[in-house]
Amino acid sequence: MAARLSPGRAAVYLLLAVCALYYLLPLYVMLATSFKTLDQIRAGDLLDLPLSPTTAAWAKAWSSACTGAECSGLAPYFWNSISMAVPAVLISTAIGSVNGYVLAHWRFRGSEVLFTALMVGCFIPFQVVILPMARLLGMAELANTTPGLVFVHIIYGLAFTTLFFRNYYVTVPEELVKAARIDGAGFFTIYRRIILPLSLPIFMVCFIWQFTQIWNDFLFGVVFGGSDAQPVTVALNNLVNTSTGVKEYNVDMAAAIIAALPTLALYLVAGKYFVRGLTAGAVKG
């Protein structure tokens, strides 16, 4: 016989269901609106289902057709974000992994001071680094380019990735590393044979964290990205705030969903590792 729910547990489930419905309602409105015609949007209710579903708004939101200096869709900027986010995530995560390994198991004089400085770097607002970063990019001839944006996100993300990896690697028993040293294993051998095989959860945490931060960034994109290197967030802002005649809410909603799809897909594929990796260093370190 199935166990009966207690009144308290039923109330908790009901509250969770209401919260989930409240949270998902805007997503439903976005999806429904993106498939509606403009006539139905003007005449109907936000919660109405599309009477004659159409993907025309999605095609227009994605279209890379340009008129003069203005591009009407997100396609070129979407690929700008891909070419910016993927190398920035991979490089900052790889460097952060090595940094965390050093700070956790190869401590040196001043390592704690360095780690504290990196932690402080996690709390530096974006706005503080704009002027010095602009000067540096200008000197390196990387201003208004995709490689320049990649460089910015790598530098800004290193503090976070190092912090994540260091707090994870301190949970690896010190005895394993010491035994490997006694057996003659060097720095990279220990890293490759002992540390890396245990690192999948924290790698996924950093991938999700960095990709989300970089993909959703607007400030660095609008400041450091030229007209040919702007990410999708800047293009979405331009598209939504462009008023040329009739406001096309269905196109705006479709564009917003397109811009959010990569981060949503990443969470669906690798989200189960996120909490596991974040909590792994909560007991020790």
Residue 226 and residue 142 share a domain: yes
Greatest CA span in the chain, whole angstroms?
A: 77
Q: Is-contact 109 118, C-beta < 8 A?
A: no
Residue 201 and residue 115 share a domain: yes
Q: What pLDDT band is residue 85 in, cutting at 50, 70 and 90?
A: very high
Three-state secondary-structure class, residue 131: helix
Q: What is the pLDDT of residues 56-65, one digit of tens each?
A: 999 989 985 5
Residue 160 and residue 47 share a domain: no
Find how far residue 149's CA is from the centre of its chain. 15
Helix (H) or strand (E) holding 18: helix 7-34
Q: How far is 242 from 70, CA to CA, in rounded Å?
A: 10
Is 67 inside a domain boundary? no
Residue 236 has pLDDT above 70, yes or no: yes
Is 31 inside a domain boundary? yes
Is 218 inside a domain boundary? yes
Is 64 inside a domain boundary? no
How confident is the model over 184-189, as a mean pLDDT?
Answer: 86
Residue 43 and residue 79 share a domain: no
Find how far residue 197's CA is from the centre of its chain. 24
Residue 215 and residue 122 share a domain: yes
Query: Would you state the pLDDT for residue 281?
Result: 52
Pairing of strands 66-67, 70-71: antiparallel
Is 68 inside a domain boundary? no
Q: What pLDDT band is residue 1 in, cutting at 50, 70 and 90?
A: very low
Domain count along the chain: 2
Residue 149 and residue 31 share a domain: no
Q: For residue 115, what are the contacts with CB-CB under 8 A and spacing of at least 6?
A: 103, 162, 166
* Average per-residue pLDDT for the chain: 85
Is 65 inside a domain boundary? no
Q: How far is 154 from 85, CA to CA, in rounded Å?
A: 10
The 10 Å CB-count burial string (b at 16+, else e) for 145-157 is: bbebbbbbbbebb
As a whole number of Å, the end-to-end CA separation of the chain is 47
Q: Is-contact 226 62, C-beta < 8 A?
A: no
Residue 226 and residue 179 share a domain: yes
Query: Would you state the pLDDT for residue 244?
Result: 63
Three-state secondary-structure class, residue 45: coil
pTM, two decimal places: 0.84
Q: Which segment of 17-26, 60-69, 192-201, 246-255 scores lowest on mean pLDDT?
A: 60-69
Residue 86 and residue 45 share a domain: no
Is 119 inside a domain boundary? yes
Residue 89 and residue 32 share a domain: no
Domain span holding position 33: 7-54
Closest CA relative to residue 128, chosen from 219, 249, 232 = 219
Query: Would you state the pLDDT for residue 283?
Result: 46
**Which two tokens mark 98?**
């090595």
Residue 131 and residue 13 share a domain: no
Percentage of the chain with pLDDT > 70?
A: 91
Q: For residue 105, what are the contacts with CB-CB under 8 A and spacing of at least 6?
A: 169, 172, 174, 177, 190, 195
Residue 101 and residue 239 share a domain: yes
Q: Is-contact 81 232, C-beta < 8 A?
A: yes
CATH number of the domain within which 100 lies: 1.10.3720.10
Is 66 inside a domain boundary? no
Residue 269 and residue 135 share a domain: yes
Q: Is-contact 242 158, C-beta < 8 A?
A: no
